[in-house]
Structure 1
Amino acid sequence: MESVILQALREYVAEQAQSLPDGEGLDPFAKSLIELALASSATALDYDAMQACMARAFTNGASLDNVEEIIALVSGLGVHSLMASQATLLKIAAAQGLIDATAPLTAEQQMLWDKHVGDDPFWIGFERENPGFLDSMLRISPIQFTAFFDYCAIPWKIGSVRALTKELAALACDMAPTHAFGPGLRVHLRNAIGLGANRRQITDLLELVTEAPDHRGIV
């Protein structure tokens, strides 16, 4: 899927990297985990590549927790279905008279918002890239809202992989050959830069992305 959108996203990442310090490129450990992320993502599911990447990751010093954490991280790509749909669903449901989209949050909804979003800079930036997503999901289904945060937190609860490596892996998956998701890409790129990503790391990442497998599927 070499779409115009995918190409534009990759060019955007390359442009943003130009102003970063050169630094050192990806080390073999981080590279092998990012390759695993690309192979095991739901947008690839390349079984042979997954096996090879797992073996390479262990050879490069990865622990079982490291590998499982990366797989848990990229399994979260499924939430992009929520991100792309919730604001639209709320709008259409409101037009059908199924929900009041402008009603004040209930006490339960407000409690959940304060607990999971509040004034956290990460989620404020996230909402900026995904306007109305979190609020819409909360109004439609507090259960789904809570589950979203619980699932997204799993890789961070395992906590065995550096935050920068996780952000780079997520960034790679958002511009993989069979996936182009700008809202997530911009969030993960901003986070990676904030965590100290340098130009050579981003350049290496772009090379990994262009070599990533297409969606082969599993019989």
Structure 2
Amino acid sequence: MDEEGKRQAASYREQLGYWNQTLEYLLENDEEFFKIYKKLVSSPYKNNILDAKSRELINVALSSAPTNLSKDTLEVHIENALDQGATEKEILEVFKLVSVLGMHTCAVGVPILVDETGKYEGAELNGRQEELKQKFIEKMGYWHEFRNTLLLNDEHFFESYYEFLTNPWENDVLSPKLKEFIYIAIDSATTHLFDVGIRVHIQSALRLGATFEEIMEVFKLTSAQGVDTFYAGIPILESVLAKRGK
């Protein structure tokens, strides 16, 4: 790497807190694009609207989301989060929040199933089911009709889902506002784009005192998810070229 390359690498490491072989490949093979890449991903790090630890925990959430599972970037952001003072317990809480994303299968699928079959249309909740519904609303502050179907179909499943969802809200390991930022990030991720959830969690974040500018920073962090293409693609490209003797 020439002196200009070393300067670019040092600047990147100073601003974002990490450097790796993927970035080195981009810098060496396409310096012009590397500068564009750096400009995109560094913006939320320059603004400091979100604190450094929160930024990295949001990035941990994005990399560990079941719609993404980018192991290379996950390792980078866990390292960064620890460097910024995050604890093992805080990172585990991020994983617990993110794992609930699997329930969006029901959020999207159940209404379609009801539309196609007519099952439970107009059905009333019984007393026990109504209690569970109110318990959910009191805890989470929102409700969608597909959960009525979950209750009517299988109280045990609904209750287990409720406990799984609310467990991270039973403690203050992460602030409520950061939890909502994490939900906004994983719902608005390129790999998910769950608009119902985005709106619900923006509303919740605003009620908790979040600002327009803070939520915009979450979107900027999330918009950089596309760079995971390079983390997945470049090692494979190098491996294939090596096999061909290039």
Check whether TM > 0.5. Answer: yes
User: Could you say which TM-score interval applies, normalised by the shorter chain?
Assistant: 0.7 to 0.9
Partner of 1:40: 64
Alignment check: 8 A CA contact 1:38 1:176 kept = yes
Partner of 2:189: 176
Alignment partner of 2:188: what SS? coil
Q: Which amino acid aligns with 1:161?
A: L
Distance 1:177 1:103, change over 3 A: closer
Alignment check: 8 A CA contact 1:175 1:185 kept = yes
Query: Counterparts of 1:126-137 in structure 2 under 5 Å?
Result: 126-127=142-143, 130=144, 132-137=145-150
Distance 1:175 1:109, change over 3 A: same
Q: How many residues align?
A: 183
The two structures have a TM-score, normalised by structure 1, of 0.75
Alignment partner of 1:26: what SS? coil
C-alpha displacement of 1:134:
1.5
C-alpha displacement of 1:121:
8.4
Partner of 2:80: 56
1:80-124 deviation line (CA, Å, top 9, x unaligned): 111112233234343xxxx5533433343234334334xx3844x
Alignment check: 8 A CA contact 2:57 2:77 kept = yes
Q: Which amino acid aligns with 1:116?
A: F
Partner of 2:160: 147
Matched, 1:186 2:199: yes
C-alpha displacement of 1:24:
6.2
1:164-183 deviation line (CA, Å, top 9, x unaligned): 11111110111112110111
Provide the identity percentage. 27
1:132-187 deviation line (CA, Å, top 9, x unaligned): 21111111221221122111112112430111111111101111121101110001
Query: Counterparts of 1:6-21 in structure 2 under 5 Å?
Result: none
Q: Which amino acid aligns with 2:130?
A: Q
Partner of 2:213: 200
Aligned-residue CA RMSD in angstroms?
2.2
Alignment check: 8 A CA contact 1:73 1:170 kept = yes
The two structures have a TM-score, normalised by structure 2, of 0.67
Gaps of 5+ in 1: 1-22
